[in-house]
């Protein structure tokens, strides 16, 4: 960086003196257009169930979705992301419920599309962990997650969600080669306009605990996910993952978790110039929300953390704060 000028002729504080001046030189901005709201689904009717590990976050039955979606549309949040809590009795080692056209996600897509048409986008997670009795994202055989057989199921899951009206397919499973297979089959079945957000960089992280509580997979999980999710000590591996997924047809890529990986977001954006999403995951949310609840930190930290994603290069942020934060100022 070339520094032109020196003190006392150059005084950096001059542009910070007034609010109007600070706004003029502001380098990044945050609006509701930058946010995606995750929503947890549950069975039954008239259900709004608090998630103990995530303050102010709930599981909603489908008939209770309208209030939270109406609020999102009013704020002009562009998209919601759906995550189901599947009943234990519907889970099995194959995750068969993922392919049931009357599963929670499919019913929710139909309800939302019928009521709202294209007023708001719908993003659907593609992975088997909400549906498997062992809690893994793929098929488990002889204590190993089998890659290619899992992809066959993920392709079917993607086609089902697309046929229900899902706008954006979001594979979060981290199987090798799944983006290319899904893109090929979507195009073959005339879903060429359905977008793919690839969870291209998903680290094996300890920040996912509250999410697993929310979808009911935590207690079921056997072992860990280190054989398919990334090692958090690696950077170059993230760039390789992104490169592969772009070549296979990803429209956007995601880095997950968020705040501990701002360096990765910046690297991905600078290398590939592709739309990059960050996921401010459940553990990040819960740490911040509980800190605010206990008076340890001010709620202004929500805005500060979301702005950090923008500063790092994120085009959009999946955040549980999306419908809570006030950006009307």
Q: Is residue 107 annotated as part of the catalytic site, yes or no?
A: no
Q: At what angle do helices 262-272 and 300-312 cross, to 10 degrees?
A: 30
Q: Could you give the domains of the chain? A: 30-319 (3.20.20.70)
CA distance 231 to 131: 25
Cβ 313 vs Cβ 265: under 8 Å: yes
Residue among 292, 212, 295, 280 at smallest CA distance from 38: 280
Which candidate in 202, 225, 269, 310 is catalytic? 202
253 Cβ contact list (under 8 Å, min separation 6): 197, 198, 200, 201, 242, 245, 246, 268, 272, 274, 275, 276, 277
The secondary structure of 216-270 as a DSSP string is T-TTT--S-STTTSBPTT-SHHHHHHHHHHHHHT-SEEEEES-GGGHHHHHHHHH
Residues 162, 169 contacting (CB under 8 angstroms): yes
Tokens linked to 102: 């009357």
Which of 156-165, 212-221, 226-235 bottoms out in mean pLDDT, i.e. has the lowest?
Answer: 212-221
Residue 75 annotated as catalytic: no
Structure tokens at 206: 């300890």
Which residues does 240 contact at the CB level (< 8 Å), separation at least 6? none
Structure tokens at 302: 């929500």
C-alpha separations of 70 from 50, 87, 320 in Å: 20, 27, 16
Q: Does position 219 have pLDDT exceeding 90, yes or no? A: no
Contact 301, 262 (CB under 8 A): no
Q: pLDDT band at residue 312, thresholds of 50, 70 and 90? A: very high
Nearest to 85 by CA among 54, 121, 49, 136: 49
Per-residue confidence (pLDDT) for residue 3, from 0 to 100: 73
Among residues 211, 125, 203, which one has the least CA distance to residue 169? Answer: 125
Q: How far apart are CA 245 and CA 254, in angstroms?
A: 11
Average pLDDT, the chain: 96
Check residue 222 and give its pLDDT.
83
Could you tell me the pTM of the whole model? 0.96
Asked whether residue 169 carries a pLDDT value surpassing 80, the answer given is: yes
Antiparallel, parallel or unpaired: β 139-141 and 144-146 = antiparallel
Task: Single out the catalytic residue among 64, 225, 256, 269.
Answer: 256
Residue 329 scores a pLDDT above 80: no
Q: Mind listing the pLDDT tens digit for each residue in 278-298? A: 999 999 999 999 999 999 999
Chain segment 76-119, per-residue pLDDT in tens: 999 999 999 999 999 999 999 999 999 999 999 999 999 999 99
């Amino acid at each position: 960086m070339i520094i032109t000028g020196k003190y006392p002729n150059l005084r950096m504080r001059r542009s910070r003196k007034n609010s109007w001046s600070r706004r003029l030189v502001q380098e990044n901005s945050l609006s509701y257009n930058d946010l995606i709201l995750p929503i947890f689904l549950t069975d039954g009717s008239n259900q709004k169930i608090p998630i103990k590990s995530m303050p102010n976050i709930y599981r909603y039955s489908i008939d209770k979705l309208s209030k939270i979606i109406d609020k999102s549309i009013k704020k002009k949040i562009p998209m919601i992301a759906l995550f189901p809590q599947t009943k234990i009795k519907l889970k099995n080692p194959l995750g068969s419920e993922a392919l049931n056209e009357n599963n929670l996600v499919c019913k929710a897509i139909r309800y939302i599309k019928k009521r709202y048409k294209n007023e708001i986008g719908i993003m659907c997670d593609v992975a088997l962990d909400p549906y498997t009795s062992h809690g893994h994202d793929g098929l488990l055989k002889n204590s190993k997650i089998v890659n290619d057989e899992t992809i066959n199921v993920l392709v079917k899951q993607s086609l089902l969600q697309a046929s229900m009206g899902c706008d954006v397919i979001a594979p979060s499973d981290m199987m090798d080669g799944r983006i290319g297979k899904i893109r090929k089959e979507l195009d073959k079945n005339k879903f060429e306009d359905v977008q793919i957000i690839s969870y291209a960089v998903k680290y094996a992280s300890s920040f996912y605990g509250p999410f697993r509580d929310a979808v009911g997979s935590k207690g079921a999980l056997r072992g860990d996910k280190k054989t398919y999710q990334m090692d958090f000590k690696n950077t170059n591996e993230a760039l390789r993952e992104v490169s592969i997924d772009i070549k296979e047809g990803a429209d956007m890529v995601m880095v997950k978790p968020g705040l501990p990986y701002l360096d990765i977001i910046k690297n991905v954006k600078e290398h590939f110039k592709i739309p990059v999403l960050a996921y401010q995951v459940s553990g990040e949310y819960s740490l911040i929300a509980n800190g605010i609840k206990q008076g340890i930190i001010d709620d202004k930290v929500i805005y500060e953390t979301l702005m950090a994603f923008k500063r790092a290069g994120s085009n959009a942020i999946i955040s549980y704060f999306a419908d809570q934060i006030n950006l009307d100022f």
